[in-house]
Amino acid sequence: MKRIRKRLSLTLFVLLVLGAIFGGGYFFGLRQNQPTEGQIVLSTITNERLAKFAPLIQMFEVIQDRFYFSLPTDEEMIEGAIQGMIDTLPGEGAEFTYYFNPLRAKINRSMMAGGFAGIGVRITIENGQTIIVSTMPDGPAERAGLKPGDVLIAVDGESIEGVPWEIRSGLLRGEAGSTTTLTIFRIGEGRLDVDVTRDFVPTPSVLTRILGDGQVGYISLEIFGDTAADEVREALKQFLNEDGVEAIILDLRGNPGGHQTAGIQILSQFVPGGKPAAQIYSSDGAYYTLATWPGGVAQDIPLVVLIDQGSASSSELVAAALKDYGRGILIGDTTLGKGVGQTPIPLPDGSLTMVVDHEFRSPKGIIVHGVGVQPDIRVPTSPAERQRGTDRALTRAVEVLLEQIGSPAP
């Protein structure tokens, strides 16, 4: 009887999880209430569909009843099953489809909102390697001894080779006060293990400074988060109305993307409203064009955009559109080539899924995915090189803009 009750409870547990995974609709043939406004119904679960998951439920029961060694938690097993589904997706489908458990979903939302518990580093991808570009002054990483130019090899003993960008950066985040062990490679010292204690890390989207003897405004955009568009707009207004700069550099190097809407809003600061921003090819067979917004504040000022292998997604949307319109000069290296997007879908238990559901192309229809956006002037620079104070791409950008506005280089 005890085993029967256990089996029943396990079966009900898995069925409830499956119901949570697949959202509203039908459960055991009974129709649920209509979704409230803004709620996304992922699927309807009929008895026929539910029956296909019988092997999963049976395997769950067999493992619980018979497995000799210590078992993971139920939540870990369910999360593993979900990841297994993602891993069966072909090619880029698996690479850019993600599942975040409730904790990681919370961290993801915090990061996009402008702060999270992490280690205080900015990372980029260079030739397939994850490299630390910078550390936050007096942040957890700097206090632990991490340095720009360090190559990240593993997190808590797990190799990050082949792990998608969003997951790599997500592994560095967690609860404040928790400790993570990073395995790095440092030139001159070899392979090192470094323990870092996470702390709350404020993440402003924008860093600014003035270059070229006061004539060039520089904006480095870390991520296309919730506040990115407003921060860029305010920085541009400060440069143009208060500081009197005559040219702008938008640095998207190492920027992994973020909200697509933020990308269009930032593009709209430099391109007139109503212009095509991107062509969208959706998983439901639909095709449509996204348009720029009116009211941009920097539509005529000379512009250079810095890009590299770590520029992805919304960064590429912005760069591709500016290149199509000849609105700015792209300097740096070819971008990552992530020309697909995902719609974040929260699940009832607080977890989050992001499934690739569309491809975007430039306003002229030029493919970005798997190809990347090519710079107009190729000047690749590594994070380690920039840390040593030799940023050839930035130097070239200043030279190009000063030449455009008729001012000699400093």
The helix-helix angle for 54-66 and 74-87 (nearest 10°) equals 140
Stated pTM of the model: 0.73
DSSP at 242: I
Q: For position 24, what pLDDT does the model report?
A: 36
Domain with CATH 2.30.42.10 in the chain: 115-202
Q: What tokens appear for 107 in the block?
A: 């961290």
Q: For position 408, what pLDDT does the model report?
A: 65
pLDDT along the chain (410 residues), means of 10: 39 42 33 40 69 90 93 90 90 81 74 65 80 85 91 88 64 79 92 91 81 96 89 96 96 91 97 97 94 96 96 96 98 95 87 91 96 96 74 96 82
Q: For position 276, what pLDDT does the model report?
A: 97
Report how far residue 267's alpha carbon sits from residue 263's, in angstroms, rounded to the nearest whole number: 6
Give the model confidence (pLDDT) of 26-81 as tens digits. 222 233 334 444 444 555 677 788 888 889 989 999 999 999 999 999 988 998 99
Which CA distances in Å does 351 have to 98, 100, 171, 358? 11, 6, 16, 22
The reply to whether CATH 3.40.50.150 applies to domain 206-404 is no
Count Cβ atoms below 10 Å from residue 361 Cβ, excluding itself. 19
Give the model confidence (pLDDT) of 385-403 as tens digits. 776 778 999 999 999 999 9
Q: For position 44, what pLDDT does the model report?
A: 62
SS (H, E, C) 101-161: CHHHHHHHHHHHHCEEEECCEEEEEECCEEEEEEECCCCHHHHHCCCCCCEEEEECCEECC
Domain with CATH 3.90.226.10 in the chain: 206-404
CATH architecture classification, 115-202: Roll (2.30)
Give the model confidence (pLDDT) of 300-339 as tens digits. 999 999 999 989 999 999 999 999 999 999 999 999 999 9
